[in-house]
Amino acid sequence: MSELIILDEPTTGLDGKESDKMMELMLTLQKRGHTIIMVTHNMRIAEEYADRIIAMENGRVTGDYHNMRGRAS
């Protein structure tokens, strides 16, 4: 059964190694069929792991990118 998982800043307060562990867990869940929506200010995490990035500023969408470099792609 597929589930939607929504995360708000899941890597806040984590060092780089622990952030990567968290994101590897998210990749595992995504590969099992879960949809993951994550809010982050960490562009390294977004660019490295996300297959789609929606950028916002002042409550408005400023960009919607399909990230072919992301590991979830």
* pLDDT score, position 73: 63
* pLDDT score, position 67: 82
Q: For every residue of the chain, which 3-state class applies, written as one string?
A: CCCEEEEECCCCCCCHHHHHHHHHHHHHHHHCCCEEEEECCCHHHHHHHCCEEEEEECCEEEEEEECCCCCCC
List of domains in the chain: 4-66 (3.40.50.300)
* pLDDT score, position 68: 79
The pLDDT tens digits of the residues spanning 32-54 come to 999 999 999 998 899 999 999 99
Q: How confident is the model at residue 1 (pLDDT cuts 50, 70, 90)?
A: low
- Over residues 46-63, mean pLDDT: 93
pTM for the full predicted model: 0.79
